[in-house]
Homo-oligomer: A and B are copies of this chain.
Amino acid sequence: MRKILIVGLSILCCQLSFSQINNAQEDSLNLRKLYDMSLLNGKSYQWLEHLSNDIGGRLSGSLNAQRAVDYTKKELETLGLDKVWLQPVMVPKWVRGAKEFAYIETAPGSTRNINITALGGSVSTPEGGAKAQVIEVQGIEDLARYGEEQIKGKIVFYNRPMRADLISTFEAYGGCVDQRYSGAAEAAKYGAKGVLVRSMNLRLDDFPHTGTMSYGELRPSQRIPAAAISTNDAEYLSGLLKIEKKAEVYFKLNSEQLPDVQSYNVIGEITGSQFPNEYIVVGGHLDSWDVGDGSHDDGAGVVQSMEVLRLFKESGIKPKRSIRVVLFMNEENGLRGGNKYAEVAKEKNENHIFALESDSGGFTPRGFSFEARQDQFDQIVAWKPLFKPYLIHYFEMNGSGADIGPLKNGEIVLAGLRPDSQRYFDHHHSENDTFDQVNKRELELGAATMASLIYLVDKYGISKNSGVSKL
């Protein structure tokens, strides 16, 4: 409020200098130019069409992931950037194997198939599958209540749904995903035979949603298979268990963890004209899950980030600082690409001042969230009026992105594009994350919004550590 007051007083007292007025006009015109170019002659949608329809799902270590590396490198090389290169990184290679199969059996021969998908990192079931009675729980904390006596030999069915009353679906996801990530490791400690987890999806439908999970410190012999079950089937199973407590579930997973393989982050750079040693990163992650084609997660972020650099080149705006697009490998099940990029940046003592990630879907952009010092955040929020014509209104301190997280050092500002989140988890990590679910204009608005923020950060820099409270 103090800030608004000061701005208000400044305007009332006509204290804006001519250079401030000129800057505001130039910025306003340049943002308009970036939006126009993205909406009228953008390339993001065309790139996404290729990544999604011609390549498809890009699981780390897969042939498709390598094809995506090759394709995006080749496309970046057409943009007239100063440098394009591959940054080697070893990635885990988990493979799904043949499609999963599962059914509920209430009596011999009386079965109903259910839709499941192995969680990323899960071991397979035994050769003949796993079959057992089911115990439904509302979360990990229920395990201690039931104890080994009631859990041993059973399939633990985690069924706490995402909260529909939360406006941010990411917040609802955050309140549930422990079931998926740690559910198997915890249930194994009580002797469970396997785990089924209600899909992280607010909608009732038939798509199971995969995602990464961890066995924590469990030895290989202790690990149990874990799969996601569609929300419709979770509702069905839960209803059935109320009247038929002894119903059994059979499921068969064919997944396997193979040795790590070589992969790459794809990087392109426009070298800064005045401060080439100050780096600004914009990126998304090139890998995806294998069940859909990864259009929203995170094909959208990849092509939007590429588009940011293309817009700079096409518009003739010459950045003062070095702007890098980084297409990170292995966000989904390892974060190896993000870690590697930060590791190399640190080794080379590169001064990264700002990093922006787009990894929340290709929906209508609403704004950004930040990890920054208060003085840095204040500096950025002062640009908010420039975004009003584009209906960009959300500027909050509320996290950034997984791949850029490892760059955090108390000085760099991290940011995440925040698109409308309502539809995201309808598609996230499921067969249903496909190109036809991305709207061209929404994708392009996102790219222009990212380019606009990068333009402002490049032009004005980021305020240096002022001794004000750190993160």
Interface residues of A (CB under 8 A from B): 1-2, 4-5, 8-9, 11-12, 35-36, 39-40, 164-165, 167, 169, 202-203, 364, 366, 389-391, 393-394, 420, 422-423, 426, 439-442, 445
In the complex the two chains form, is B202's CB within 8 Å of A441's CB?
A: yes
Q: How far is the CB of A183 from chain B (nearest CB, A)?
A: 25
CB-CB under 8 A from A4, the residues of chain B are: 4-5, 8
CB-CB under 8 A from A39, the residues of chain B are: 164-165
Partner of A5 from the list B12, B203, B439 (CB cut-off 8 Å) is: B12
CB-CB under 8 A from A5, the residues of chain B are: 4-5, 8-9, 12
In the complex the two chains form, is B203's CB within 8 Å of A440's CB?
A: yes
In the complex the two chains form, is B1's CB within 8 Å of A167's CB?
A: no
Q: What is the CA–CA distance of A165 and B42 in the complex, to the nearest angstrom? A: 11
In the complex the two chains form, is B164's CB within 8 Å of A441's CB?
A: yes
Q: What is the CA–CA distance of A4 and B4 in the complex, to the nearest angstrom? A: 7
Question: Given that A8-B8, A391-B366 are known contacts, is A40 also in contact with B164, CB under 8 Å in the complex?
Answer: yes
In the complex the two chains form, is A391's CB within 8 Å of B391's CB?
A: no
How many copies the complex holds: the figure is 2
Q: What is the CA–CA distance of A36 and B163 in the complex, to the nearest angstrom? A: 10
CB-CB under 8 A from A445, the residues of chain B are: 167, 422
In the complex the two chains form, is A423's CB within 8 Å of B394's CB?
A: no
Task: Write 21 A-B pairs (CB below 8 A) sorted by A numbering.
Answer: A1-B12, A2-B8, A2-B12, A4-B8, A5-B5, A5-B8, A39-B165, A164-B441, A167-B389, A167-B390, A167-B445, A203-B439, A364-B364, A364-B422, A391-B393, A393-B393, A420-B420, A422-B439, A422-B442, A423-B442, A426-B439
Minimum-distance CB pairs A-B, first 3: A393-B393, A5-B8, A36-B165
Q: What is the CA–CA distance of A164 and B440 in the complex, to the nearest angstrom? A: 11
CB-CB under 8 A from A439, the residues of chain B are: 203, 422-423, 426
For residue A393, which residue of chain B has the nearest CB? B393
Q: How far is the CB of A79 from chain B (nearest CB, A)?
A: 22
Partner of A1 from the list B8, B35, B389, B441 (CB cut-off 8 Å) is: B8
CB-CB under 8 A from A35, the residues of chain B are: 165, 167
Q: How far is the CB of A44 from chain B (nearest CB, A)?
A: 13
Q: What is the CA–CA distance of A39 and B366 in the complex, to the nearest angstrom? A: 21
CB-CB under 8 A from A391, the residues of chain B are: 167, 366, 393-394
Q: How far is the CB of A43 from chain B (nearest CB, A)?
A: 14
CB-CB under 8 A from A165, the residues of chain B are: 35-36, 39-40
- Additional A-B contact list (8), CB under 8 Å, known A1-B8, A36-B165, A202-B441: A2-B8, A5-B5, A8-B8, A39-B165, A167-B390, A203-B440, A364-B422, A366-B391
For residue A423, which residue of chain B has the nearest CB? B439
In the complex the two chains form, is A420's CB within 8 Å of B364's CB?
A: yes
Q: What is the CA–CA distance of A115 and B417 in the complex, to the nearest angstrom? A: 38
For residue A441, which residue of chain B has the nearest CB? B422
Q: How far is the CB of A458 from chain B (nearest CB, A)?
A: 23
Q: What is the CA–CA distance of A122 and B391 in the complex, to the nearest angstrom? A: 38
CB-CB under 8 A from A440, the residues of chain B are: 203
For residue A11, which residue of chain B has the nearest CB? B1
Q: What is the CA–CA distance of A223 and B441 in the complex, to the nearest angstrom? A: 37
For residue A425, which residue of chain B has the nearest CB? B441
Q: What is the CA–CA distance of A423 and B423 in the complex, to the nearest angstrom? A: 13
Q: What is the CA–CA distance of A441 and B4 in the complex, to the nearest angstrom? A: 33
Q: How far is the CB of A227 from chain B (nearest CB, A)?
A: 26
Q: How far is the CB of A431 from chain B (nearest CB, A)?
A: 16
Q: What is the CA–CA distance of A9 and B1 in the complex, to the nearest angstrom? A: 9
For residue A32, which residue of chain B has the nearest CB? B165
Q: How far is the CB of A252 from chain B (nearest CB, A)?
A: 31
Q: What is the CA–CA distance of A202 and B39 in the complex, to the nearest angstrom? A: 11
For residue A442, which residue of chain B has the nearest CB? B422
Q: What is the CA–CA distance of A165 and B39 in the complex, to the nearest angstrom? A: 6
Q: How far is the CB of A8 from chain B (nearest CB, A)?
A: 4
